[in-house]
Amino acid sequence: MTGRSPAAAVTAGGPLRDYDDIFVPVLFHPWACLLVGALTPEPASAALDVGTGPGTVARVLAACVGPAGRVVAVDSNADMLALAENKPAVAGAPISYLEGDAGALQVPDDEFDVVTCQQILQFVTDLPAALAKIRVSVKHGGRLGALTWCALDRNPLFRVLFDTVRDQFGSEAAEAFAKPWSLSAPETARAVAAAGFTDVLARRHTLPAVFPGGPDQVCRFFGFTSVGGDLSDLDETSRHAFYKLARKRLAPMTAGDGTLYTTTTAALIVARA
């Protein structure tokens, strides 16, 4: 395994900064705690986090497995990894960040006690190949934990964002935007079993999500999605109309003090190697 050179750890900004500053604390960190809690790796375990983004699950794993453990965290986006590497170290295991594709993981076989995939499997082009490699990287008896969003009908916040994209940009753009909500729990569970994992369990969970900055804060979500570029290309009047429509649709979730209250629902898949 080879790590990234320190020179690669540049500071990323813009939409990815919003992802880390707004959506990690409100959405992705609470889900990471649920995911790692479901696996409860032993102290001193070796853990792999695939599609780590800004290190969301990797950092929870590091605290959980403690200083005698170790964490390897992989992502294909160098800017995400730069965000992760520039954070202060967590108390616990050291984390090695690797740039790479989940479909061609450069990690040894039979190496890890636990592997996590939080909101990444729906983006992987060759899911069977990726899960097959993940499977051989796990020691006999080790475990996989994966989270994927449930459908938009179970995710009212994301549904509003999707509807706004569809109304502004049309169905083709909406289909691309809907990728994060496109992999069902049964599909994921079948793919995990087909890769050779056993005792595959799928269960739906719902968590609260509270945005103190209200609709304006939620609208920062668009920036790092498939429509981020389209929005920047709109003229000011059209962009203003787009955000006005999104804010209007988010109003029913918003309290008098401007805080937005909602829930998100995802499928947790746990399996044994």
- Find the shortest distance in angstroms from Cβ 81 to ligand SAM: 8
- Find the shortest distance in angstroms from Cβ 147 to ligand SAM: 8
Asked if 119 touches ligand SAM (CB under 6 A), the answer is yes
- Size of site (CB under 6 A) for ligand SAM: 20
Residue from 122, 180, 113 nearest 144 by CA: 113
Strands of the 46-50 sheet, one edge to the other: 95-99, 70-75, 46-50, 112-118, 138-149, 260-272, 198-211
Residue from 15, 30, 66, 103 touching ligand SAM (CB under 6 A): that is: 103
Asked if 155 touches ligand SAM (CB under 6 A), the answer is no
The closest residue (CB) to ligand SAM is 53
Binding segment (CB under 6 A) for ligand SAM, from list 99-107, 181-189, 210-218, 234-242:
99-107
Chain positions 14 to 73 lying near ligand SAM, rule: CB under 6 A, are: 24, 28, 32, 51-53, 56-57
Judged by CB, which is closer to ligand SAM: 158, or 169? 158
Please report, as a single letter, which amino acid is at residue 220: R
**Which two structure tokens, joined as six digits, stand for 63?**
């605290």
Asked if 122 touches ligand SAM (CB under 6 A), the answer is no
Judged by CB, which is closer to ligand SAM: 65, or 147? 147
- Find the shortest distance in angstroms from Cβ 255 to ligand SAM: 26
Judged by CB, which is closer to ligand SAM: 75, or 230? 75
Asked if 218 touches ligand SAM (CB under 6 A), the answer is no
Judged by CB, which is closer to ligand SAM: 224, or 239? 224
Judged by CB, which is closer to ligand SAM: 102, or 144? 102
Residues that bind ligand SAM (CB under 6 A): 24, 28, 32, 51-53, 56-57, 75-77, 80, 101-103, 118-120, 123-124
